[in-house]
Amino acid sequence: PSSVLPGFTPWPPELATRYRDEKCWTGETFAQLLSTRAAHTPEAIAVVDATHRWSYAELDRRARSLATGLMRLGIGHHDRVLVQLPNRAEFVEVIFALFEIGALPVFCLPAHRESELVPIGNASTAVAMITCATHQRFDHAALADTVRHRVASLRHVLLLTDDPETEFAEGAADLADYRDEPGDMPELDAGDVAFLQLSGGSTGIPKLIPRTHDDYLYSVRRSAEITELGPDSVYLATLPVAHNFPMSSPGILGALYAGGTVAMTPDPTPSTAFAAIERFGVTITGLVPPLARLWVERAEKGGEMPDLSSLQVVQVGGARCPDELARRAGPALGVTLQQVFGMAEGLVCYTRLDDPIDVVVATQGRPMSELDRIKIVDDEGAEVAPGADGNLKTQGPYTIRGYYDNPEANTRSFDADGWYSTGDIVALRPDGNLVVKGRAGDWINRGGEKVSAEELEAHLLEHPGIRDAVIVGTPDPVLGQRICAFVQPVDPATPPTLTTVRSFVRGRGIAAWKMPDAVVTIDEFPETGVGKTSRRDLRRLLAEGQRAQ
Ligand code: J2J
């Protein structure tokens, strides 16, 4: 099948030709990548976790086996499938099974709950959901059942379980029952969409990011080159692997591209992750700044500790890494630090492994491709003076030209010439490296997890004791930003407390990282002086007031 996915915005033909001529887009699909590796180094270890150790041949056979079972269920080309799995070997098996048949994984996070999963399921008109029965004592089978009832298109729920005796709700089946004898796989086009990634901090209709085999494999290949991956590399998936960063920068796909090994850990804290590093001989991993701080502090403390000597590179990204932390990280962990500034929509910047320490400590690096284009503009769209702060826009061989089936979001984020507005405020140094200064958009970056102010406000407005609410990101030494809820109570005599607000929003089924960190009661919201109150101005005002305290 070679039809174009409806709702996908392709690159203009002349650019597509250029990206092919320049050998960015090579025409290889993910399924071909895996089968090539399996043919060349069948015995090499592709994936390990606490209980699995699969060679490339084994992974390839498993992926085709599951693909065959999924086809038996009627899942096929372009069908969207919600995938909500923690960091375990089966994640790789499942996504490659879907890649084999041209079905599109929609990458959900284990922390997502029904408030996220239902809109994602509906926006993608998903036909199936693949999740685990339980994870960290949470009943994902029950969650999937709720999602199935609220997403009309969802026909199948497949559950990964460690216990073959488990009984599921009606309409759910054991994933293991679909591991069939591998059959023939369809021919696929590398220009086709391979999966849908999620954009951080979306409000309303989720912004789904369609990535093609061609464009994504290019970003994976360049990332693997820049991080110098090879057959001896062992990448530890520390962050939730559905995130774009551990998936592709270079992430698990980079490790597989290079013929190396993917190691999975479900728990990123030093006690578990350090043991995994020793056990699997991990050479590289990626962290968000708060996690990097935990690791650095644990390593600096010294004492009895697993052997980390295999570790060569630690990447930090997803949120701004404080210079002070960047300076300590390399020596503390005995590694080369690499800063990564990327986005699921495309553009990824890296400091290079041989960059001077000043660049590694104080910048978020430079685009990975010669063909990436960036410009930094003021609020009127004019390019700023060299070195000045401005809004970052980008386009290039692996940056999308539009969200999936979302004209409204596309009007906001993409201009007629195909420039994507990242929402990031950055400055370009004379040496070509970018420094991330902040966000123009209304979402909060809480240690790498993105939270839409508007989305959380909408939840709070449902609270019977809250008349109005404004969510603001306030500075936090560890997380970068924390979530502060300004609330105007219905009855000032009994204002809602942090505990009651948190339990209320938790009850609404949202990801735990979106919980407010603080609640500030306010009698009246300040006017912003432009007549009608703009919530964006209001947020800015409250944030400034909070900072001044
Ligand atoms: C400051 N802000 C950063 C950084 C991302 C690699 C690495 C990260 C992501 C990611 C990714 C930052 N310093 N080093 O997809 O492939 C903020 C910016 C950006 C947004 C994107 C990858 N690294 N950010 O974090 O799609 O605001 O991707 O626009 O989740 O995170 O978020 P996301």
- How far does the centroid of ligand 1 lie from the alpha carbon of residue 107, in Å? 16
Distance 420 CA to ligand 1 centre (A): 14
At residue 535, the pLDDT reads 74
CATH classification of the domain holding 131 = 3.40.50.980
Instruction: Give CA separation, 342 vs 150, 348, 389, in Å.
Output: 33, 4, 18
HSE-up (13 A, CA, CB side) for residue 208 = 31
Which residues in 213-350 belong to E strands, given as ranges? 234-237, 261-264, 284-287, 313-317, 336-343, 346-350
pLDDT value at position 546? 72
What SS3 class is residue 491? coil
Q: Is the pLDDT of residue 537 over 90?
A: no
**pLDDT number for residue 531:** 56
Give the mean pLDDT of the chain.
94
Question: Which residue's alpha carbon is at the smallest distance from atom 27 of ligand 1?
Answer: 424
**Residues found in the chain:** 549
| 476 part of a folded domain | yes
Which pLDDT belongs to residue 532? Answer: 55
- Residues facing 48 on adjacent strands: 53, 263
Residue 421 lies in a domain: no
Most confident of 53-62, 514-523, 530-539: 53-62
Q: What is the mean pLDDT of residues 149-165?
A: 93
Assess contact for 280 and 48: CB atoms under 8 A: yes
185 CA to centre of ligand 1 in angstroms? 35
Site of tokens 């539009």: 402
Whether the CB of 200 sits within 6 Å of ligand 1:
yes
Among the atoms of ligand 1, which is closest to the Cα of residue 439? 27
Banded model confidence at residue 525, pLDDT cuts 50, 70, 90: confident
Radius of gyration over every alpha carbon of the chain, rounded to an integer in angstroms: 23
Mean pLDDT over 84-92 rounds to 98
The structure tokens listed for 106 are 């929609």
Question: What pLDDT shows up at residue 393?
Answer: 98
Q: What is the pLDDT of residue 419?
A: 98
What does the pLDDT look like over 271-300, one tens digit per residue? 999 999 999 999 999 999 999 999 999 999
| Residue 30 predicted with pLDDT over 70 | yes
Q: Give the Å distance between the CA of 47 and the centre of ligand 1.
A: 26
What's the rounded mean pLDDT across residues 151-165?
Answer: 92
Structural domain ending residue among the three candidates 176, 199, 214: 214
Domain count, the chain: 2
Q: 375-380: long-range contacts (C-beta < 8 A, 24 or more apart)?
A: 375/419, 376/426, 376/427, 376/428
For residue 439 and ligand 1, the question of a CB distance below 6 A is answered with yes
Q: Kindly give the distance from the C-alpha atom of residue 463 to the centroid of ligand 1, in angstroms, as a whole number.
A: 32
**169 Cα–ligand 1 center, Å:** 38
- Whether 209 is in a domain gets the answer yes
User: If you average pLDDT over residues 26-38, what whole number do you get?
Assistant: 98
State the CATH number of the domain containing residue 451: 3.30.300.30
Domain closes at, from 214, 246, 273: 214
Q: What pLDDT digit, counting tens, does each position of 425-445 carry? A: 999 999 999 999 998 877 899
Tell me if 482 is assigned to some domain: yes
Q: How far apart are CA 431 and CA 280, in angstroms?
A: 37
What pLDDT was estimated at residue 440? 83
**Residue 428 belongs to a domain:** no
pLDDT for position 528: 62
Tokens representing 391 are 């809004």
- C-alpha distances (whole Å) from 338 to each of 95, 147, 326, 396 are 27, 39, 9, 22
* Per-residue DSSP letter, 321: P
Say if residue 530's pLDDT is above 60.
Answer: no
Output DSSP code: residue 369.
-
Average pLDDT over residues 232-249: 98
Binding site membership of 223 for ligand 1 (Cβ less than 6 Å): no
Ligand 1 nearest atom to the CA of residue 248, by list position: 16
Q: Which amino acid is at 454?
A: E
CB 390 within 8 A of CB 403: no
Write 174-177 long-range contacts (CB < 8 A, 24+).
175/66, 175/90, 175/94, 175/130, 177/69
Q: What pLDDT was estimated at residue 543?
A: 79
Tell me the C-alpha to C-alpha distance, in Å, between residue 139 and each of 55, 144, 503.
31, 9, 18
Q: How far is the CA of 422 from the centre of ligand 1 (A)?
A: 10
Q: Tell me, what's the pLDDT at 485?
A: 94
* Position 497 in a domain: yes
Task: Using the atom order of ligand 1, give the atom closest to the CA of residue 423.
Answer: 29
**Dihedral in degrees, nearest 10, Cα atoms 161, 164, 166, 171:** 70
Tell me which of 343, 393, 434 to substitute to probe ligand 1's pocket, judged by most ligand atoms within 8 Å of the beta carbon: 343
pLDDT of residue 538: 77
By C-alpha distance, which of 272, 279, 257 is closest to 48?
Answer: 279
Residue 533: its pLDDT value, please? 59
Q: Is residue 527 one of the residues assigned to a domain?
A: yes
421 pLDDT above the threshold of 60: yes
Per-position DSSP letters for 450-487, written without gaps between them: EEEHHHHHHHHTTSTTEEEEEEEEEEETTTEEEEEEEE
Residue in the structure block whose two tokens are 């306010």: 522
CA-nearest residue for atom 21, ligand 1, is 343
List, in sequence order, every residue forming a beta bridge with 156; answer none if it has no partner.
128
Over residues 394-420, the pLDDT tens digits come to 999 999 999 999 999 999 999 999 999
Domain span including residue 541? 443-548
Cα separation of 53 and 216, whole Å? 26
pLDDT at 171: 86
């804290």: which residue's tokens? 269
Q: What is the pLDDT, as a whole number, of residue 170?
A: 85
Is the CB of 244 inside a 6 Å radius of any atom of ligand 1?
yes
Asked if pLDDT for residue 194 goes beyond 80, the answer is yes
**Best of 341, 359, 513 to mutate for ligand 1, by most ligand atoms within 8 A of CB?**
341
Q: Which two tokens stand for residue 87?
A: 């960091």
CB-based contact 286:265 (threshold 8 Å): no
Do the beta carbons of residue 121 and residue 129 sit within 8 Å?
yes
pLDDT on residue 529: 61
Q: What does each C-alpha distance from 423 to 163, 394, 437, 440, 444 come to in angstroms?
A: 45, 11, 11, 5, 12
In a domain, 322, yes or no: no
Please say if the pLDDT value at position 1 is more than 60. no
What's the CA-to-centroid distance between 244 and ligand 1, angstroms? 9
Say if residues 197 and 203 touch (Cβ distance below 8 Å): no
247-265 residue pLDDT tens = 999 999 999 999 999 999 9
Share of the chain above pLDDT 90, in %: 89
| Arithmetic mean of pLDDT, 329-352 | 98
Per residue in 309-339, pLDDT (tens digit) is 999 999 999 999 999 999 999 999 999 999 9
How far apart are the CA of 26 and the centre of ligand 1, in A? 26
Does the CB atom of residue 25 touch ligand 1 within 6 A?
no
- What separation in Å is there between the alpha carbon of 424 and the centre of ligand 1? 9
Is the CB of residue 348 below 6 angstroms from any atom belonging to ligand 1?
Answer: yes
Q: Which of 214, 232, 252 is the C-terminal boundary of a domain?
A: 214
